[in-house]
Amino acid sequence: MTKKAIVILAEGFEDVEAVTPVDILRRAGVEVTVAGLKGKLVRGARGIKIEADVLLSEAVSREFDVCVLPGGLPGATNLAGSDTVNAFVKNMAENQKIIAAICAAPAVVLAPLGLLHHKTATCFPSMENKFDSSVKHSTEPVVVDGCLVTSRALGTALAFSFAIVDNLCGKEMSDKIRKAVLG
């Protein structure tokens, strides 16, 4: 059965943190849906426009194995400000699906929802002050704790994407993709 991922884009998303997981997941044979929060044409933090496959409102009733939340500001803040995003992410957590957040998204989206309580996580340097005292902050580039995959910043986007594939499709597949893209 084909694994399914959703990557949610809000205005001001960090471009590399969105595109890299989409690319690596698709190379692994994952069916990736790019969902725009408020529109199908979404502008990233560096001005790159990406046309989403669907609006998030059209996708929330579908089943996904992983939800990817790119960081970037104001992208992560825009995600956090959406009741639809918050309800969707909470539902993914309740159903023990993988939630992958990078850069500002762990601190700005996941922490306020309580999804990091008693977990080990990382985020963009200097944003860990948004973690409550129960969160064990790590400075590792990528941290996997149960169904949560968190990562630090744009420079960790490739490692973040491999960690998602590893958890979703297995180490053999992530090693195959790693070898193909790293040479």
- Is the pLDDT reported for residue 42 higher than 90? yes
Is the confidence at residue 81, as pLDDT, over 90?
A: yes
Residue 59's alpha-carbon distances to 34, 71, 85, in angstroms, are 9, 20, 11
Asked if residue 16 lies in contact with residue 154, where contact means CB atoms within 8 angstroms, the answer is: yes
Residue 13 and residue 108: Cα distance in Å, rounded? 13
- Domains of the chain by residue range: 4-177
pLDDT of res. 89: 98
pLDDT digits (tens, 9 = 90+) for 129-177: 999 999 999 999 999 999 999 999 999 999 999 999 999 999 999 999 9
Which helix (H) or strand (E) segment is 121 a member of? strand 120-121
Which residues, including other chains, have CB under 8 Å from residue 57's CB and lie 6 or more apart?
Answer: 84
Active site residues: 103
State the pLDDT confidence band at 1, using cuts at 50, 70 and 90: confident
Average of per-residue pLDDT across 23-30: 98
pLDDT band at 3 (very low <50, low <70, confident <90, very high): very high
Q: Cα-flanking dihedrals φ and ψ of residue 42, to 5°?
A: -120, 130
Work out the average pLDDT over 10-38.
98
Q: For the segment 101-140, what is each residue's pLDDT rounded down to a tens digit?
A: 999 999 999 999 999 999 999 999 999 999 999 999 999 9
Whole-number pLDDT of residue 31: 98
pLDDT value at 43 more than 90: yes
Q: Where are the alpha helices (DSSP H) in 28-170?
A: 56-59, 75-80, 83-94, 105, 157-169
With a CB cutoff of 8 Å and minimum separation 6, the contacts of 51 are 40, 41, 42
Q: Which CATH superfamily is domain 4-177 in?
A: Class I glutamine amidotransferase (GATase) domain (3.40.50.880)
